[in-house]
Amino acid sequence: MKTGARILVIDDEKSIRRFMDASLTAKGYTVLPAKTAAEGLKVAAEEHPDVILLDLNLPDKDGLAVLKGIRDFSAVPVIILTVKSSDADKELLLDSGADDYLTKPFSLTELLARIRVALRHSVNLREDVAFRHGPLEIDFSTRKVLVGGEEVHLTATEFNLLKALVSHAGKVITQTQLLSEVWGPHAVEQSHYLRIYVSQLRRKLESKSPELQGFIITDPGVGYRARV
């Protein structure tokens, strides 16, 4: 769903950058590393990352200055990482525009959860198009589907099926899985539902844009998948 968010990691310690890179990449994020305050600011301005992790102890400039520099041109969520933990420090940083503050040592689990919160915020501020493929745009929160900018009306069941397909986009989803996700576990035998609704979905999507021909692929005897 929120695949491949881009995370800028500003930290002078090589070991931390490598740890972050490994941990975050494993979760499907793209990591932009920066060794110094100056480099961090530059990357932030040029690459427009989705979240910034900022270490406070930088050699060339202190973290507060970096934070303020970023805030001059962007509202991107910034999470502060530091060993310091005095209340006054936290207060100052948070009031200067930081979105969160983690004191080392922190657990990776918590960091990842905090990143997801930060991403939620930045997604809310954007057009929250959660899925996009060619002319097809799907907003899961508002259940709106656009093809080539034009709205396509889908019934509740049609939308649920499309959602199930694209939220595992690229991977085959078995008929059993689809039936149980969309109609409920009692309907796992009713494979004809799938044939009917897949057919309707294809008709509605392809009539708006021929590009979407072949978007929903049948895997005979197994299930269906949406092309990525």
* Binding residues for a copy of itself (CB under 8 A): 75, 87-88, 90-91, 94-95, 98-100, 107, 109-110, 112-114, 116-117, 121, 124-125, 139, 141-144, 155-157, 159, 168, 170-172, 219-222, 225
Q: Which is nearer to DNA, 85 or 155 (CB)?
A: 155
Handedness of CA 129, 215, 223, 25 (dihedral sign): negative
Return the exposure string of 97-110: e unless at least 16 CB atoms fall within 10 Å of the residue's CB, then b. Answer: bbbbbbeeeeeeee
Give the E-state strand segments of 47-184 in sequence order: 51-55, 78-82, 100-103, 131-133, 136-139, 144-147, 150-151, 173-174
SS3 of 148, please?
coil
- Shortest Cβ distance from residue 62 to DNA (Å)? 28
- Shortest Cβ distance from residue 136 to DNA (Å)? 17
Q: What separation in angstroms does the CA of 203 have from each of 34, 80, 113, 139, 143?
A: 48, 49, 40, 20, 19
- Shortest Cβ distance from residue 154 to DNA (Å)? 8
Q: Which is nearer to a copy of itself, 42 or 143 (CB)?
A: 143
Asked if residue 77 has a cis previous peptide bond (ω within 30° of 0), the answer is no
Residues 6+ apart with CB under 8 A from 216: 165, 198, 201, 202, 205, 224, 225, 226, 227
Q: Which is nearer to a copy of itself, 208 or 225 (CB)?
A: 225
The binder of 218, among DNA, a copy of itself, none, by C-beta within 5 to 8 A per type, is DNA
- Shortest Cβ distance from residue 205 to DNA (Å)? 11
Q: What separation in angstroms does the CA of 187 have from each of 46, 72, 155?
A: 50, 55, 19
Q: Which is nearer to a copy of itself, 30 or 96 (CB)?
A: 96
The binder of 57, among DNA, a copy of itself, none, by C-beta within 5 to 8 A per type, is none
What one-letter code names the amino acid at 206? E
Q: Which is nearer to a copy of itself, 14 or 94 (CB)?
A: 94
The binder of 158, among DNA, a copy of itself, none, by C-beta within 5 to 8 A per type, is DNA
Binding stretches for DNA (CB under 7 A): 153, 155-158, 175, 183, 187, 190-196, 198-199, 202-203, 218, 220-222
The binder of 60, among DNA, a copy of itself, none, by C-beta within 5 to 8 A per type, is none
- Shortest Cβ distance from residue 138 to DNA (Å)? 17
Measured between alpha carbons, how far is 201 from 72 in angstroms, rounded to an integer?
Answer: 46
- Shortest Cβ distance from residue 191 to DNA (Å)? 5
